[in-house]
Amino acid sequence: MITEREESLKMIRETVREFSRKELGPISSRVDEDDYFPLELFRKLGSLGFLGITVPEKYGGSGLGYEAQAVVTEELGYDSASFSLSYGAHSNLVVDSIYRNGSEYIRKTFLPKLCSGEMIGSLCLTEPGSGSDALAMKTHARREGDHFILDGSKTLITNAPYADLMLVYARTGESYTAFVVLSSDKGVSKGKKFSKMGMRGSPTGEIYFDRVELPADRVLGKEGDGKEIILSGLNAERVILSFIFVGLARKALEASLRYSMERRQFGRSIAEFEMIEEKLSNMYTRYQASRLLCEKALVEIQNDRMNAIDSAASILYTAESAEYIAREALQIHGGYGYVKDAGIERLLRDAILGQIGAGTTEIRKHLVASNLVKYFRKNKSLPK
């Protein structure tokens, strides 16, 4: 028997799938080829209620939770991983974090505009000298009376070229603090937009802060809460963004099945060849294992249990599997897969980011192992 929650998620998936196939899929090649960010299409997600999907209706959201956000992320990722990346950066890294950590003033002032798509959001954490070691940041803010002065820079920031609102992390003395910064604030400027190998169409750039004066009510949470906000946000981010690569892997696997069944060599479809059968079986197994691991981690964050082991493990395995599946898809397609018109080589280029963004593969392995050791030392058993 289908539960009310399952029925709701099914309806969301059908709605997003229809939107994605009709409006996003047909322009996905242009998005990649021209490094084109379809801004109006992004804003349309707001009118459909997807940009603030984890935010209660009183703040302009849909109040549907992380499971619904994962569904949207996957379906967009199927047609355009880059568009889904920008969606996740906005709806999870910025909107959801502001809802979970923001004051009532911040929630009421900014969430309705972010949820509608009137404002585009960016998370500003990475710096030129601090990537995986995020807490080595040099951007700093000092209090002067009832306001703060923010100085520094951020780089490789998703959505930066179009961002109206930025969630900026900075040092405040010996601690870290998160601030809501507007692109219209005096002293904020944007640098170059990066031309990337993959995830083209998801705009990535630099942002500079030169004596930006911020009122104290722009602090997210409390002064000094930044480290806790960063770490809790990264757990949710890793789980939600992993669904981009679940969608991408599904696209690559379906394309491979379709092509291998239609392509004939030596009088039979190549799907009947033993080597192709091996590829398809391995691709399917890794795809399903990825989905199950991500869904397990998703249950944890949906129930407000920010499990660092499962969140890191989910994106670790899913990102590696997506690249593997995309690479095998290209091999199955042969020369046609190497040609841009087929859209297969784009899947491989996009999949590679999965092992770099939201913490590298190496960082994820460290997180899984170190937290697993701590858990086992305390409980003498494996996590359930």
* pLDDT confidence band for 306 (50 / 70 / 90): low
Task: Assign 114 to helix, strand or coil.
Answer: helix
Question: pTM (2 decimals)?
Answer: 0.95
Distance CA 43, CA 26 (A): 18
**Contact (Cβ atoms closer than 8 angstroms) between residue 95 and residue 51:** yes
Residue located via tokens 């780089």: 155
Query: Which distant-in-sequence residues (6+ apart) come within 8 Å of 370 by Cβ?
Result: none
Homologous superfamily of 123-226: Butyryl-CoA Dehydrogenase, subunit A, domain 2 (2.40.110.10)
Is the pLDDT score of 131 beyond 80?
A: no
Q: What is the mean pLDDT of residues 25-46?
A: 96
Look-up: residue for tokens 């809790």? 232
Give the chain's count of helices (H) and strands (E): 13, 10
For the chain, residues classed under CATH 2.40.110.10 are 123-226
pLDDT at 135: 82
Which residue ranges does the chain devote to CATH 1.10.540.10?
4-120
pLDDT value at residue 220: 96
Q: How many Cα atoms occupy the beta-carbon half-sphere of 332 within 13 Å?
A: 35
CATH of domain 228-379: 1.20.140.10
Span 79-124, pLDDT tens digits: 999 999 999 999 999 999 999 999 999 999 999 999 999 999 999 9
Residue 1 pLDDT greater than 70, yes or no: no
CA distance 217 to 148: 10
Delimiting residues of CATH 1.20.140.10 domain(s) in the chain: 228-379
Cα 223 off chain centre by: 26
pLDDT in tens, 258-284: 999 999 999 999 999 999 999 999 999
Per-residue pLDDT tens for 191-223?
999 999 999 999 999 999 999 999 999 999 999
pLDDT of residue 328: 98
Q: Which token pair is 137? A: 């940041």
Q: Which residues are catalytic?
A: 237
What is the residue-averaged pLDDT of the chain? 94
**Closest by CA position to 218, among listed 170, 147, 286:** 147
- CATH code given to domain 4-120: 1.10.540.10
Cα–chain center distance at 38 = 17
Backbone angles phi, psi at 189, to 5 degrees: -140, 160
